[in-house]
Amino acid sequence: LPYDRRWEFPRHRLKLGVQLGAGCFGRVVKAEAVGLKKGSEETVKTVAVKMVRSEANVSAMEALISELKILVYLGSHLNVVNLLGACTKQIHKELLVIVECCRFGNLQTFLINHRTNFVNLVDEFGNLKMQDEMENLISWAFQIARGMGYLVSKKVLHGDLAARNILLADDGIVKVADFGMAKKMYYEENYEKGGQGLMPVKWMAIESLIDRIFSCQSDVWSYGVVLWEIFSLGRVPYPGMDVGHILMKEILKGYRMDKPELAPNFFGEMMADCWKSDPKERPTFSQMEEIICSHMESSVSSDYLNMNAPYAKLNQEKENATPKDQFGLAKLLREKSGTKSKKYATPRNSMFPMRSSKKVADSYL
């Protein structure tokens, strides 16, 4: 995948602020970008900036570069955290990836902090008591399915779909985020991850646990776990079960989580379908989007379609613009690492194999 120079943003126009989050290899800070939009050079916009920790290894930088290229390739969508720019000219010192700032944080933490607002929303028969809070939960499930459906249309699998990787923006909009483990699929429908790195076991499909096979269908399994997280109000999946061989053994034996009490019956059925052992028997994101939409007011679902129209227009404008500049980020990365090994001597598109030996832990930023 190439990098497009049109995303380049002047470093001096970016003022870094407080830290929003951090991981083993990278961190995210709040920032102010001046003149981010063409024609408004003095306008200040609040953004989020992803970067690698100064002490992190080359693999962490490699992972951030791959995420940047995935974001460039994806384009824009209402329910995906959108790329706004990048600072790559000083990659010897730093690489900054500028994305939308979602001021309400990740969905898991939001649900935990607001559990008291989501009570008594389902009657004893599992039927909805339509209140704003329940409508929000259903809306978020719908929007996540839409965002993931967009990824499928672009032949990108996420690989780490979880409530912690869904961000909540203004007006109740949720956005799929954190593409450090995402992959662009080329000629096959799935790929295999090697290595023994850190992996999100409780969100992984049965074929991913056994054979390290990942596909759009394994993302569907993860979506079922996200639904469980939403309607359990941010609780950890498989409560009381430790990550490891015991959990894997139980899943292989057919164990599946019960639907949370708060979840309407049709969501319970959807979760069960997402967790079918045969990936081919699982529903697609577009099918689940239609099912959820049928339980929403038509005016609400049409509103989301209208809200996505500017993003679709932006994608079309970029497709009609000048050809992409395939900037040599891999070369700069090789210079930064001081190595001339074959691993870093090829363009990044060849580092998106369907069968990868790259450790998943290195993708966590």
SS (H, E, C) the chain: CCCCHHHECCHHHEEEEEEEEECCCEEEEEEEEECCCCCCCCCEEEEEEEEECCCCCHHHHHHHHHHHHHHHHHCCCCCECCEEEEECCCCCCCCEEEEECCCCCEHHHHHHHCHHHCCCCECCCCCECCCHHHHHHHHHHHHHHHHHHHHHHCCEECCCCCHHHEEECHHHCEEECCCCCCEECCCCCEEEECCCCCCCHHHCCHHHHHHCEEEHHHHHHHHHHHHHHHHCCCCCCCCCCCCCHHHHHHHHCCCCCCCCCCCCHHHHHHHHHHCCCCHHHCCCHHHHHHHHHHCCCHHHHHHHHHHHHHHHHHHHHHHCCCCCCCCCHHHHHHHHHCCCCHHHCCCHHHHCCCEECCCHHHHCC
pLDDT for residue 282? 98
Q: Look at residue 354 and tell me if it is in a domain.
A: yes
- Residue 50 marked ligand-binding: yes
Model confidence at 121, pLDDT cuts 50, 70, 90, reads low
- Residue 26 marked ligand-binding: yes
pLDDT for residue 205? 95
Q: Does the pLDDT value for residue 139 go beyond 50?
A: yes
Average pLDDT, the chain: 81
| 217 and 352 co-located in one domain | no
- Residue 24 marked ligand-binding: yes
Query: pLDDT tens for residues 175-203?
Result: 999 887 777 654 344 444 555 456 788 99
| 204 and 190 co-located in one domain | yes
Among 167-176, 240-249, 301-310, 354-363, which stretch is predicted with the lowest mean pLDDT? 354-363
**Pick the residue with more confidence: 243 or 88?**
88
| 147 and 46 co-located in one domain | no
State the total domains in the chain: 2
Q: Choose from 19-23, 152-156, 226-230 the range with maximum mean pLDDT.
A: 226-230
Among 86-95, 211-220, 264-273, which stretch is predicted with the lowest mean pLDDT? 86-95
Q: Look at residue 266 and tell me if it is in a domain.
A: yes
Percent of the chain having pLDDT more than 90? 52
Query: pLDDT tens for residues 200-234?
Result: 889 999 999 999 899 999 999 999 999 999 999 99
pLDDT for residue 20? 92
Average pLDDT score over residue span 49-76: 88
Model confidence at 119, pLDDT cuts 50, 70, 90, reads low
Which of 273, 296, 319 is a domain's end point?
A: 296
- Residue 172 marked ligand-binding: no
Q: Look at residue 46 and tell me if it is in a domain.
A: yes
pLDDT for residue 217? 96
**Pick the residue with more confidence: 301 or 172?**
172
| 292 and 325 co-located in one domain | no
- Residue 11 marked ligand-binding: no
Average pLDDT score over residue span 234-239: 94
| 139 and 282 co-located in one domain | yes
Q: Does the pLDDT value for residue 362 go beyond 60?
A: no
pLDDT for residue 198? 64
- Residue 23 marked ligand-binding: yes
Domain of 179: which CATH number? 1.10.510.10
Q: Look at residue 244 and tell me if it is in a domain.
A: yes
pLDDT for residue 197? 54
Average pLDDT score over residue span 127-147: 83
- Residue 28 marked ligand-binding: yes
Q: Look at residue 302 and tell me if it is in a domain.
A: no
| 156 and 275 co-located in one domain | yes
- Residue 25 marked ligand-binding: yes
Residue 123 known to be catalytic: no
Domain of 45: which CATH number? 3.30.200.20
Q: Look at residue 317 and tell me if it is in a domain.
A: yes
Average pLDDT score over residue span 46-51: 95
pLDDT for residue 25? 75
| 118 and 159 co-located in one domain | yes
Q: Look at residue 363 and tell me if it is in a domain.
A: no
- Residue 103 marked ligand-binding: no
| 230 and 126 co-located in one domain | yes
Q: Look at residue 208 and tell me if it is in a domain.
A: yes
| 69 and 170 co-located in one domain | no
| 319 and 205 co-located in one domain | no
Query: pLDDT tens for residues 287-340?
Result: 999 999 999 887 777 788 789 888 888 888 877 764 444 444 544 444 444 444
| 97 and 111 co-located in one domain | no
Which of 296, 320, 337 is a domain's end point?
A: 296
Among 52-56, 160-164, 173-177, which stretch is predicted with the lowest mean pLDDT? 52-56
pTM above 0.85, yes or no: no
pLDDT for residue 2? 66
Domain region containing 228: 107-296
Q: Does the pLDDT value for residue 237 go beyond 70?
A: yes
Query: One of 4, 123, 160, 303 is an active-site residue; which one?
Result: 160
| 249 and 339 co-located in one domain | no
